[in-house]
Every structure is written in structure tokens, then in C-alpha cells.
Amino acid sequence: MKHILFILPYLSLGGTEKQALSIIEKLIGQYHISLLAPEGEGKAIFEPIPMEQKHFTRWDFNFLKGFWELFRAVKSLEKERPIDLIHIHGAHELMIPIRLILKKIPIIFTVHGYHGYNAKFSYQLSCFLSNKLATKVISVCEAEFNILTELGIEKDKLHLIYNGVNPPKLNSEISLQYIEKFALNISQDIIIGTAARLDEVKGLTYLLQGFAIVNQYLLKQNKPFNKNLKLIIAGTGKLEESLRKEAEDLNIAHQVIFTGYINDLPNLMHLYDIFVLPSLQEAASLACIEAMSLGKPIIGTSVGGIPEQVYDNVNGFIVEPRNPQQIADSLVKLIENPDLRAKFAKNSYQRYQQFFSSEIMVSKTVELYEQSMD
């Protein structure tokens, strides 16, 4: 049985970890799997998996200590059982010590997107190191694929494999607990929801502003929906306090529910009537794919890979980032037209099955593994 080592730069509760987890879960038994990653809040989701796990200090916390710990851990794993392939997620710099230790072992590197003011430099460095050190590179959306191509990555190394998620496993009792906890009336409420890290890059302030515009419009039009409109924001992050304050300032706090971290998100998202992804930067949103797997109409911004997930006027609406008015206009169309919501919902589920299931993602990833180990 071939030995595959997964290396992650951190263990939080984000999309990088979820994607790696969904691959690992399906490969257990087919390959001998090991995981090397720093300690973090996402550690618990990997602990039930029967595989060897080793840890190193995050490089952004202590580079020298983390580099040495990673170096020793890889040497130890290789000594215990020869490694046939290494799959690194998200951090191109982790390829450097691997090549120093294991000069000929195939390295698969998945680019999960770079954000912030230095994003272009990160893409450039990723291309440079991938050309020098990686065997194959996975891009999780076409938008990232095009960026990497334009910046000079070797074309024969680069492969497009969309992020995928498992079919949702719903538990009606858990959903009922959420209904009771958040005082929802699913027969009367129209529930608009999102799921994201509460960070500036997720654009949640524009969702709040758009939701407030919708309320004002419905109130002026004397529409009955206004009284039963709810906005659910699932997630944690540094902006929670400021977002709560903004909801109060917009006079919508009584309609906005901040849930905190939800470890069984599909059971909450199942209650949504409309899913909104107002991101300012995004590669390939797993939350959006989860909404598609649940058959939800989606409003998403025209950034990164979102327009590859949401076809405008097919399974949802695409709006410009930082544009609360466009979010509001799209919400009103969906709120006032249940037939349109149903049409978009059906199309969302079909797109999920066709492009974004975990089975498709894992199948293409395994094919790349086998090509690299030949």
C-alpha cells in the first residue's frame, strides 16, 4: 500500500482543512495516509481518522522552530514507512524543506488562493517554487488557473480540479434544535443566510447593508415579507462585535442572527431559503458548494471562482462586490418570486452533482496521484 503524506500550514476550521479532510476520508484503506500539520482548533475533526498525525509549530509563529520540527517529522515518517507522495495544501514554502529531505518524492501542491495587498507577489512566488519543486499543481477554480498560467507556471504541471463536498447528511432533530434555538418560524419566515469567517474579506458589511435596504423597500411597499425576514450569519471571527454593532445601527439587529461556529453546517443551512456569498476575494467557496448541494438559490459576487459556481440567472445572481444595492435588488427578486427560487434551487443541485461533488474531486485527485507516482 502506497504511503501518502498530507501537509497543511495550519489546522483551523476553514476551506483548506475541509478539502483535505474530504480527500483523506475517502483514501483511507486505499492508501496509507499520514498527516503533518500544526496544532489548531481544527485538530478535532481529523482525530477520529485512523492515520498517523504529527505536528509542527506554525511558521508564522516561530519560523526556525517550525522549520526544524517539520524537517524532523518528515524524516521520522520516512524512516517508519517510505513515503511515495506528498500532498501540500495552501503554502508553497512548505515545498522547500521537503525537497531538501526527499529529493525525488513526487509533490502535489494545491493552491487555495491568496488574498490581501501582497496577493500578486504570493502568486508569483507560488509559480516560481512550483516550477522548481512541484511535480503537479492543483488549481481549485478556473480563475486561479488563469492567474497561475498568466504568471508563468509550467502548463504541463497545472491541473484544474474543482473543490467538492460530500452529499449532505441531514438530521431533522438537529435542524429542529436550530429552529428552537434561533426562534425561527420556517413556515412563515424567509431565511436569508450565509456561512463565512467574520473577516473583512468576506464582505459581510455589504450583506448587512443590503439586507437593511430590502427591509426599507418592503416596508415602503407595505409588503408582508418584512415582518418575517431573517438573516443568519454562521461563523466566527474578529469582526463579530463590529458587525453586531452595525446591525444595531442599521436597525436590523432584531432580524439578524449570529450563530457562532456551526460544526454541522448543513443542518442549519438546510433551513435557508436564500444563500448569499458577498465575498471581496474568494477562490472556490466550500460554503457555496454546500449550499448548492442542498439545492439553494445563491447570490454571489463576481470575484474569483464564484461565477464558476453560480451562473447568473441560472442558479442564482452574480453581483458586484461592495455593492449592497445589487445584493438588495437580487434579494427582492427572490423574496417576491418563489417560483424563481425553486428554479434556481433545482439548478444549483444539478450543478453540484455535475461539477462539485467530492466524488468527482477525489477521483481526479487520485488520478493525478497515480500519474505522479508512475
pLDDT in tens, 297-350: 999 999 999 999 999 999 999 999 999 999 999 999 999 999 999 999 999 999
Same domain, 308 and 362: no
Same domain, 197 and 80: no
Same domain, 179 and 328: yes
Specify the pLDDT at position 161.
97
Model pLDDT for residues 114-166, shown as the tens digit of each residue: 887 788 899 999 999 999 999 999 999 999 999 999 999 999 999 999 999 99
CATH number of domain containing 11: 3.40.50.2000
Same domain, 136 and 203: no
Q: Residue 247, class by beta-carbon neighbours within 10 Å (0-12 exposed, 13-18 middle, 19+ buried)?
A: buried
Q: Backbone phi, then psi, for 207, in 5-degree steps?
A: -70, -45
Structural domain boundaries enclosing 322: 172-355
Same domain, 155 and 257: no
d(CA 12, CA 8): 10
The pairing of beta strand 32-36 with beta strand 52-54? parallel
Same domain, 33 and 147: yes
C-alpha 332: how far from its chain's center? 27
Please state at what angle helix 324-336 crosses helix 338-355, rounded to 10 degrees. 110
Same domain, 149 and 186: no
Same domain, 46 and 145: yes
Same domain, 250 and 121: no
Cα atoms in the Cβ-side hemisphere of radius 13 Å centred on 42: 19
Same domain, 369 and 289: no
The total domain count for the chain is 2
Model pLDDT for residues 203-242, shown as the tens digit of each residue: 999 999 999 999 999 888 876 665 689 999 999 999 999 9
Same domain, 201 and 335: yes
The overall average pLDDT reported for the chain is 94
- pTM score of the predicted model: 0.91
Same domain, 153 and 7: yes
Res. 295: pLDDT tops 60: yes
d(CA 136, CA 134): 6
Res. 252: pLDDT tops 80: yes
